[in-house]
Amino acid sequence: MGALICKYFLTNFLFSGVIFLFISRFGKKQPDVEWLIYTAGLGPFFTTILLYFLFLILPGYNDLFYVGMVIGIYLLLLVWNIRYLPFYMAACKRVVYGLKSGITFGPQETSNKKWNNPDVWFLLLLVAFGYYCFYVLMFEQLTGHDVLLYAIQGEIFYEDKSIAYAATRFNEARHFNFFALHGFGFPLLSTWERLLDFDAMAGKDLWFKSTTGYYGFLIVLLQFFWLRKVKKQLALIGAVLLLGTFGWIVTFTVYHIDTYRIFACSVLFILTLKAVENLKDQSLIVGLGMFAGFSAFAHSIGVFLAFFAFGALLFFAKGNVIRERLPAVVLAGFVFLVMGGLHYVFDVFFGTGWIFKEIKFY
């Protein structure tokens, strides 16, 4: 359990915080709690991108080398963007203040008002949701076709310490064929956990399994944040309806890639709408490119969503086509390629052929 907490503190908290600082340098104004929610999911995403390029360019080294390289890159990003640390601390303080105001009960005459506050009920709902996720994590093993496919491929990446493109991804030692035509983002989460374990506790996969619950939590938080801007009661109703959906509950029972990729797709959609209205804020453009890349690196559908986002910028954004829209699309497209889109270029020309390959049904 201690190892799981350490992995969360390093990857989900510290690494995500560094990405918050990085995006802050592109903004016209100080990022707020909204960006804190978005970037809370970026530590694992960006770590898989780093592993991808390290395995691609520098294959065959030991565990300590790759862990050290990843941490070293984050440290460089931290030093480069350290002046934006007050922005991050201010956003965190706002969250802490909001939690304290929501759960701290004062005198009896104010107690009823607290219980009538939808924010309080949402916090209680999140606690129940967290307990459920923890129970599933502790007692349910990895089951289901898709998640086992990704977990095994992640273990193969760990064993090989390399990524190579071929027409067929077949591992002879395991007699395993990774036939999915998606990016390597999700399998590399399993690889990262194994690298941090240094061969210890192999097979537990606690951090990898917790991905479903973690990004499910972020999706609920994201929905509540935006619906709350309309009305607090509406935000609470939305959270209850989402968490009470049978399919949503089943997803956490069997583990799946869905919450991981849907979180990225959701933020991509939000940032696209915001960027269309404000092309001058480069944090929106860079963030859009990052989430487009991460979404694609997790699942092929993210590639198509990325091009829809780029099309929205080009045809519907406010501003001059040549001087503002086109440069924004070029910048977002470049970030998209670096953050995951490049995988599909390599796969088309040097690998399986992606969706252009001939599919044989025999």
Instruction: Write down the domain spans for the chain.
Output: 2-356
* Contact in structure between 167 and 128 (CB atoms under 8 Å): no
CA-CA distance, 51 to 191, in Å (whole number)?
9
- What local confidence, expressed as pLDDT, does residue 107 receive? 44
Mean pLDDT comparison of 63-77, 81-95, 187-201, highest-scoring range: 63-77
Is residue 243 within 8 A of residue 266, CB to CB? The reply is: no
List CB contacts of 331: < 8 A, sequence separation 6 or more.
282, 285, 286, 289
222-226-232-234 Cα dihedral, nearest 10 degrees: -90
Q: What is the mean pLDDT of residues 259-283?
A: 93
Among 107-116, 151-160, 168-177, the least confident range = 107-116
Strand, coil or helix: 131:
helix
**144 in Cβ contact with 255 (< 8 Å):** yes
pLDDT band of residue 275 (cuts 50, 70, 90) is: very high
Instruction: Please say if the pLDDT value at position 303 is more than 60.
Output: yes
